[in-house]
Copies of this chain bind each other. A is one copy, B any other.
Amino acid sequence: MPLAEKSLIEGIRRSARQPGGSVRLGIGDDCAVLRPPKGHQILVTTDYTLENIHFRRSWHAPEIVGRRCLTRGLSDIAAMGGKPLAAFLSLALPADLPQRWVDQFMRGLLGLARECNVPLAGGDTAQSLEGILADIIVLGSAPNGKALVRSGAKPGDRIYVSGELGGGTAALKEFLAGRKPRPQDYPRHFHPVPRLKLGEFLRVRGIATALIDLSDGLSTDLGHICEESQVGAEILADQIPRARVGRKRDPIDLKLALHGGEDYELLFTAPARKHVPGSVAGVAITPIGRITPDKRTLLRTSKRVEALEPQGWEHFRS
């Protein structure tokens, strides 16, 4: 049995011993078998984590790669107001990868799985000819018809964001400049936490009209809500919570907060009459603007109003 397979199977076995959960049959058959909660729909998301595209071995410790890999999937479940049921990992590894790397990757992934009470219920292993290739699949559930989608924003709704923005890309900028950012100075990059409790809160309380997670950056992901909801938006530049990073905890540039990705915070809209708390499960919630009827997305600064064009965070790579 190749090393990757052995490590994955052991990880799954360890994970499957967790109490509770809806996994009826994990490893050892052609499929995993899940029993979804009655009256619930199933949510499905898949996300690649590829070496030298999504991470670099020289930048990211294996535990961090594993944690970030699972965060991508869990954040998509949070962005529907769902509860995760189980995760699946397809993992292809080069023949010369040290077993230590795989073990530490699995430790990071399974650590987050435990924190979020999500069993790893299966997956696939293969050899890769070049680079580490991981595909994370997460299944979740939400009561029938209650999943929070992107398409429900209405003119007059307020726009809210959780946490602080731009910290994910700020760390990448440091790497790209040849520096070595310390994990404790960039927690959102090195230790992301999917906002599952907030997503569920918004669904259960019936607060959000539209919800998305910030994986591509505020300007792009707000664009997705506006496009799917057929509305526009006006964002107040001064209101945007800019991440404080580095040794001095300086707030980052507005541009990074507007366009930087991989923050895995939640962006949502809610009717103006709805009370939205200032924080949920210890995470700050900040109003940053409002939905408008005309389909433009605008940024209002103290000096002027300008168009807010979607810019992917890939923009910062080159």
Interface residues of A (CB under 8 A from B): 24-25, 28-36, 41-48, 50-54, 76-77, 79-80, 82, 86, 88, 90, 92, 121-124, 126-131, 133, 135, 137, 139-140, 142, 144, 147, 149-151, 212-213, 228
Contact = CB atoms under 8 A, between A and B. Distances in A.
Contact of A44 (B45, B54, B122): B122
B46 A90 contact: yes
Contact of A30 (B123, B137, B212): B212
A25 to B, nearest CB: 7
18 contacts: A28-B151, A28-B228, A29-B80, A30-B213, A31-B140, A32-B43, A33-B43, A33-B147, A34-B44, A35-B41, A44-B137, A45-B122, A46-B88, A46-B135, A48-B133, A90-B90, A130-B130, A130-B131
Given A121-B44, A139-B42, A30 B79 contact: yes
A130 to B, nearest CB: 4
Which residue among A46, A50, A133 has the maximum number of chain B CB atoms within 10 Å of its CB? A46
Contacts of A88: 44, 46, 137
How many copies of the shown chain assemble into the complex?
Answer: 2
A140 B42 CA distance: 12
Nearest to A127: B53
A181 B42 CA distance: 43
Nearest to A199: B30
B126 A129 contact: no
Contacts of A32: 43-45
Nearest to A51: B129
Contact of A25 (B33, B90, B135, B147): B147
